[in-house]
A = this chain, B = another copy of it.
Amino acid sequence: MSPTPSSPSTAAGTKRERRKEARPGELLEAALDLFVEKGFAATRVDEVAARAGVSKGTLFLYFPSKEELFKAVVRENIAGRFAEWNNELENFAGTTSEVLRYCYQVWWERIGCTKASGITKLMLSEAQNFPEIVQFYQQEVILPGQALIRRILERGVARGEFRPMNPDYAVYLVLAPMIFLMLWKHSIGACVPDALGMTPEQYIDMQADNILHGLCVRSGTNPPAPSFSTPV
């Protein structure tokens, strides 16, 4: 006569079970928030647990140490987008300048202006203390990211839009301004709000203009020399 227990596989189980299964995810989300906000050292596990609505002891049930929690956050939040992205850019029709600009734009919308940018900052910041994580990050994030950019550059060269270049080098022309912006946003920018002096979009446009001006062969279809005049 007891009510048929809803099968956990069909209706996601009771509240308790659902919560149980959701625990690690809730903890990772809370940890992401706090690690991004305060950095690794300054984040307290009590606070992570509290924000996830569990006790401190429960956190240690799922993650054997603060360090492992941190690694799990990195794993959870960084890789996985590249497949989709690669696809998108591979199929993009248009000049390679447009591809590059689109790439910047997409990056800003999906990473740069979101919490996820904090992970990059956090990785760079706490790298020294967790060398093993850096290895992982290098394999799963940095190399795929560089490959993605490199493919764009090679496309430009192949189509005669960009000058011949060593794409392994030129990748950093594209990368550096993005990394810089994320870092600025999560450090100086968080303390001195208008320290940058312009909007992120203006910053990105300016950097893209300059990079493309350096990369492109001169022709009617290519962008004119950037002017950097105040748009305001």
Contacts and interface: CB of A to CB of B under 8 A. Distances in A.
Contacts of A12: none
Interface in A125-150: 125-129, 131, 134-135, 137-138, 142
A176 interface: yes
- Assembly stoichiometry (copies): 4
Nearest to A202: B169
A39 B175 CA distance: 24
A135 B227 contact: no
Q: By DSSP majority rule, is chain A's interface helix, strand, loop, or mixed?
A: helix
Contacts of A206: 169-170, 172-173
A198 B207 CA distance: 22
Nearest to A228: B165
Given A168-B197, A180-B179, A187 B124 contact: yes
B129 A207 contact: no
Given A169-B206, A172-B180, A176-B207, A191 B227 contact: no
A166 B230 contact: yes
19 contacts: A39-B126, A41-B41, A124-B125, A124-B184, A125-B125, A127-B186, A128-B190, A134-B187, A134-B188, A135-B192, A138-B195, A163-B226, A164-B227, A165-B227, A169-B197, A173-B210, A183-B183, A210-B211, A213-B214
